[in-house]
């Protein structure tokens, strides 16, 4: 039986898949029961704190079908298509009945702009009914001052969450929430081990569902399910195909993965924010809470948006090595330019160690809008010795 | 308003190039020759992004070149097509970040010392940039590696509070302009920069010298303020943006020196004399235009194309106006590093963030009696994405029409002068002339 069939027959996976596909389902139930939901843009919003405040963190995501009427009105051309679609939903009211608050981290330039624009729309066009917004302005360099300044930033977010939730967040609340998140990350790392194993038992498209469902449900339930799944999947059949690693734009759906798998490859790892990077580092609970959060979010693997070329080369080399991939696909959406500056150096370093690369840049959104992509991926897989 | 009626005999037309412009460009070249000699003698030489607090290096007597200004020189020398070709050959995209990547591209040119502008860029030993966008530090790191220079990056933060009329608060009440923690971290960043430079160059930072530099900057910018006010009040205008951009931008590079302060004074005196003598840039001035965005370095003559036919004159660009409003910091002695912090962190806010930028542009448009705004938005730079919707809205709600178009400040390859001219002509005819003035 195929891995896909095994997954479909697995109770834990079915539940995760249901949440992944119906991303509003859990938050609506949560709200009906009087809970408050915090929408998040950017991958550096500390979920632990939101959970410690008794609220549900959910990711704002793009709706590939929706028109871009509002986004086109407010945003310049150089906003990448995914953030554009997210912005559209925030401004056109799609989120009005779904989230109570919005937390934005400065994880990349467009997101900073998104925050500024939302703030300005709230100010000059108050009838737009945007939720209260908090901005989390991390310092990303690891210079001596990053720690103290970032701790102040986290403290501010902590206080805002107390205000939003109407209750104090105690140290115990934080520890309990961080333990849940650590448990979830540990379970997700077991999934990545199964992907990276000599004989992979989970393919990339399943992994995306497993990781991405975390963004839309109770983290404790997610941790239980993933842990169960990691046990179950040990006996799943082995995935066939050329081992590939994916880097570049975050993939909010499994569309690209499905294309790659169809070409006869298996995605054994990725470093985007809807993939493995999400679970790469825990909160160290031997530190005081603020330090623990700064350590967890700021000392993760470097993202392509907030790192030097050399840092990215090293991070990617290590991740690819750990995955045992033979080839790397760089997939970069139009106007998500930063990673393009890394690419030539990354390619050089990878190829010097016998790992082939293929870059797809200025890609349209959604993935299906790129004519001929499937053939090009197949060619690459074939060049690597795939079917 | 210092309105001057056309006398019976046509007033003489103001010269296109001011003495002050010629002076600054020959000074720059001479200075650059001196720089080359210092570098060849083994001194440290820094390459900085424009938003780096260069006053620190000035006070420490570390010579530096500023990235965007050097890019403007490369572009004016028509080097860009060659340079972007080199980027492409090296495997980089040639359609990204043209403004900031010009010097990186130049660093790939094996013939730079023979055919580069002014004999090419000497090899820097230090490259400093801020993290004001995702790409900048990457470009600087690659540039530094090509030159064998050491890279240093500085942080950037985003304003949470946005008090209105920053330009009124900036000179004296700069402490009220920012969230306190932003200033705190910027001061700490400055201290770290100083420590880095001291270790790297062996030169000592001297607070007294630094205060002198800050005072000289104040003096220079004071003259820009007077110049800006004079142009705003004088109709027809004594000079256009072609004069002011070319006189101010290179002199800002030298800010903090006696020479630059004196030059700014002479610029004012020269323009004042033109105004007093009734010598106008465009005697038939009918419509005053504002230019938003970076300069079109590869075609500065573009700005003058609408003068004869329509009497439409570009009288405003950010280059002079930022000097007038964004730099002056009084009471420097009270806390010199904090005063500098309050200057350099604001640049990004003032220029690229609504409502700081939009409110200022409107205030400047009113002060300068602007009839229409031409606004260049580059497609390949996220930092220059600065809320064009909000800028257009605030202007047009105030009755000032805005034309937005896409173009690149340094890359001439996509620039079609005729198409662009047509766009602006159409705008002048339909929005300014037929639409009536404010
Ligand atoms: S896990 Fe085993 S029994 Fe279940 S579907 Fe897969 S192969 Fe069949
Ligand atoms: S995004 Fe803009 S500011 Fe940043 S490096 Fe590119 S051109 Fe420069």
Task: Summarize pLDDT for B420-430 with one digit per residue, the tens.
Answer: 899 999 999 99
Bigger pLDDT: A152 vs A77 = A152
- Per mean pLDDT, which range of A40-49, A217-226, A309-318, B381-390 is the poorest? B381-390
Q: Which of B135, B141, B406 sits opposite A337 (nearest CB)?
A: B135
Pocket test for ligand 1, best of A11, A12, A13, A235 (most atoms within 8 A of CB): A235
Question: Residue B74 falls within a domain, yes or no?
Answer: yes
Give pTM, 2 decimals: 0.93
A12 alpha carbon – ligand 1 mean position (Å): 13
Query: Is the residue at B136 inside a domain?
Result: yes
Backbone φ and ψ of B130, nearest 5° = -110, 160
**B414 within some domain:** yes
Residue B326, domain member (yes or no): yes
Chain B residues in contact with A308 by the CB 8 A cut-off are 137-138, 141, 151, 153
Residue-level pLDDT at B123: 96
**What pLDDT is attached to residue A1?**
66
- pLDDT for B17 beyond 90: no
Could you give the CA distance from residue B55 to residue B58 in angstroms, rounded to a whole number? 5
Give strand pairing partners of A333: A363
Tell whether A102 is covered by a domain: yes
* Cα-based angle B397, B400, B405 (whole degrees, multiple of 5): 105
Cβ contact, residue pair B385, A140, below 8 Å: no
What pLDDT does residue B7 have? Answer: 37
Q: Is residue A284 part of a domain?
A: no
Number of domains observed in the structure of chain A: 1
CATH number at residue A87: 3.40.50.11890
**A3 C-alpha to ligand 1 centroid (Å):** 8
Q: Is residue A341 part of a domain?
A: no
Number of other residues whose CB lies within 10 A of the CB of residue B114:
9
Query: Is the pLDDT at B438 greater than 50, yes or no?
Result: no
Residue A161 domain flag:
yes
pLDDT, position A171: 97
Residue bearing the CA closest to ligand 2, atom 7: B97
Quote the pLDDT of residue B102: 93
Q: Taking Cα atoms as reference points, which of B334, B332, B314 lies closest to residue B376?
A: B314
Q: What confidence tier does B238 reach under pLDDT thresholds 50, 70, 90?
A: very high
| Confidence category of residue B96, pLDDT binned at 50, 70, 90 | confident
Give the whole-angstrom CA distance, residue B314 versus residue B289: 4
- Tell me the per-residue pLDDT of A187-210, one tens digit each, with 9 for 90 and over: 999 999 999 999 999 999 999 999
**Alpha helix ranges (H) inside A92-203:** 109-124, 146-165, 171-196
Closest-CA residue to A123 (of B377, B345, B173, B356): B356
The whole-number pLDDT of residue B343 equals 95
pLDDT in tens, B332-364: 999 999 999 999 999 889 999 999 999 999 999
Cα angle A108, A111, A113; round to 5: 115
Query: For position B412, what pLDDT does the model report?
Result: 65
Interior CA angle at B102 toward B101 and B108, to 5°? 95
**pLDDT at res. B409:** 59
Tens of pLDDT, residues B106-129:
999 999 998 999 999 999 999 999
Cα–Cα distance, B299 to B292 (Å, whole number): 15
Backbone torsion region of residue A76, taken as left when φ is above 0, otherwise alpha when ψ lies between -120 and 50, otherwise beta: beta
Residues of the domain holding B259: 14-433
Report whether pLDDT(B276) > 90.
yes
User: CA nearest A348 in B: which residue?
Assistant: B91
Residue A47 belongs to what domain range?
A: 24-171
* Ligand located closest to A14 CA: 1
Q: With CA atoms as reference, report the closest residue to A271 among A281, A284, A259.
A: A281
Task: Indicate which ligand has the atom closest to the C-alpha of B351.
Answer: 2
B99 lines ligand 2 (CB under 6 A): yes
The complex's ipTM? 0.94
Ligand 1, atom nearest to A10 Cα: 4
Number of structural domains found in chain B: 1
Quick: pLDDT tens for A163-172: 999 999 999 9
Residue B323 lies inside a defined structural domain of this protein: yes
Which residues does chain A have within 8 Å of residue B395's beta carbon, measured at their own beta carbons? none
């Amino acid at each position: 039986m195929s891995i896909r069939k095994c997954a479909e027959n697995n109770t834990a996976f079915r539940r995760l898949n249901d949440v992944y596909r119906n991303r509003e389902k859990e938050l609506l139930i949560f709200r009906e029961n009087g809970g408050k939901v915090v929408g998040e843009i950017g991958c550096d919003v500390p979920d632990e704190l939101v959970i410690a405040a008794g609220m549900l963190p959910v990711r704002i995501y793009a709706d590939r079908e929706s028109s871009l009427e509002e986004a086109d009105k407010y945003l310049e051309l150089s906003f990448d298509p995914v953030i554009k679609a997210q912005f559209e939903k925030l401004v056109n009211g799609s989120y009005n009945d779904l989230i109570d608050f919005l937390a934005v981290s400065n994880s990349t330039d467009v997101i900073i702009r998104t925050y500024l624009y939302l703030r300005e729309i709230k100010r000059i066009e108050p009838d737009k009914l945007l939720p209260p917004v908090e901005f989390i302005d991390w310092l990303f360099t690891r210079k001596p001052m990053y720690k103290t300044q970032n701790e102040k930033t986290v403290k501010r977010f902590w206080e805002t969450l107390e205000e939003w939730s109407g209750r104090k967040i105690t140290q115990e609340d934080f520890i309990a929430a961080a333990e849940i998140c650590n448990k979830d990350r540990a379970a997700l790392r077991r999934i990545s081990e199964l992907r990276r194993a000599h004989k992979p038992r989970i393919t990339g498209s399943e992994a995306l569902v497993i990781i991405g469902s975390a963004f839309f449900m109770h983290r404790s339930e997610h941790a239980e399910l993933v842990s169960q799944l990691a046990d179950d999947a040990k006996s799943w059949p082995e995935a066939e195909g050329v081992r590939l690693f994916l880097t570049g734009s975050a993939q909010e759906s499994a569309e690209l993965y499905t294309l790659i798998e169809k070409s006869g490859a298996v995605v054994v790892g990725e470093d985007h924010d809807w993939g493995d990077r999400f679970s790469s580092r825990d909160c160290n609970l031997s530190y005081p809470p603020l330090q623990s959060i700064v350590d967890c979010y700021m000392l993760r693997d470097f993202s392509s948006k907030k790192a030097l070329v050399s840092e990215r080369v090293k991070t990617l080399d290590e991740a690819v090595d750990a995955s045992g991939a033979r080839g790397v696909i760089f997939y970069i959406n139009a106007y998500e330019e930063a990673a393009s500056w890394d690419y030539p150096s990354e390619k050089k370093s990878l190829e010097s160690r016998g790992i082939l690369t293929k870059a797809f840049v200025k890609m349209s959104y959604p993935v299906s809008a790129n004519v001929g992509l499937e053939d090009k991926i197949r060619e690459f897989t074939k060049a690597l010795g795939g079917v | 308003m210092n309105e001057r009626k056309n006398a019976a005999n046509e007033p003489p037309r103001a010269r296109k190039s001011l003495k002050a412009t010629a002076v600054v460009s020959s000074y720059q070249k001479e200075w650059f020759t001196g720089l080359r000699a210092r570098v060849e003698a083994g001194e440290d030489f820094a390459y900085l992004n424009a938003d780096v607090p260069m006053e620190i290096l000035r006070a420490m007597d570390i010579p530096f070149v500023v990235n965007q200004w050097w890019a403007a020189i490369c572009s004016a020398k028509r080097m860009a097509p060659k340079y972007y070709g080199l980027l492409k050959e090296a495997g980089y995209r040639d359609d990204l970040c043209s403004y900031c990547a010009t010097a990186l591209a130049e660093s790939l040119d094996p013939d730079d010392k023979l055919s580069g502008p002014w004999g090419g860029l000497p090899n820097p030993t230090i490259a400093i940039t801020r993290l004001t966008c995702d790409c900048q530090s990457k470009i600087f790191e690659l540039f530094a590696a090509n030159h064998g220079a050491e890279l240093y990056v500085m942080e950037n933060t985003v304003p949470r509070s946005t008090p209105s009329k920053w330009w009124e608060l900036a000179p004296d009440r700069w402490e009220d302009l920012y969230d306190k923690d932003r200033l705190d971290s910027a001061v700490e960043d400055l201290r770290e920069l100083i420590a880095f430079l001291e270790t790297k160059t062996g030169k000592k930072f001297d607070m007294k010298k630094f205060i002198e530099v800050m005072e000289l900057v104040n003096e220079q910018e004071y003259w820009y303020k007077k110049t800006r006010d004079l142009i705003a009040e004088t109709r027809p205008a004594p000079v256009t943006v072609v004069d002011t951009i070319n006189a101010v931008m290179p002199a800002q590079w030298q800010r903090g020196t006696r020479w630059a302060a004196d030059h700014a004074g002479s610029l004012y005196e020269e323009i004042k004399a033109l105004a007093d003598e009734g010598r106008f840039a465009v005697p038939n001035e009918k419509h005053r235009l504002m230019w938003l965005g970076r300069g079109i370095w590869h075609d500065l003559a573009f700005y003058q194309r609408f003068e004869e036919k329509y009497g439409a004159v570009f009288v405003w660009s950010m280059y002079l106006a930022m000097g007038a409003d964004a730099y002056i910091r009084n009471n420097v002695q009270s806390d010199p590093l904090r005063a500098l912090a309050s200057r350099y962190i604001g640049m990004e806010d003032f220029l690229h963030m609504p409502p700081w930028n939009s409110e200022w542009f409107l205030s400047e448009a009113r002060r300068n009696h602007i009839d229409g705004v031409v606004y260049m938005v580059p497609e390949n730079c996220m930092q220059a994405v600065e809320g064009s919707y909000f800028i257009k809205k605030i202007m047009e709600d105030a009755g000032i029409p805005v034309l937005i178009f896409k173009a690149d400040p340094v890359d001439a390859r996509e620039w079609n002068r005729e198409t662009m001219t047509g766009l602006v002509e159409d705008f002048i005819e339909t929005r300014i002339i037929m639409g009536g003035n404010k």
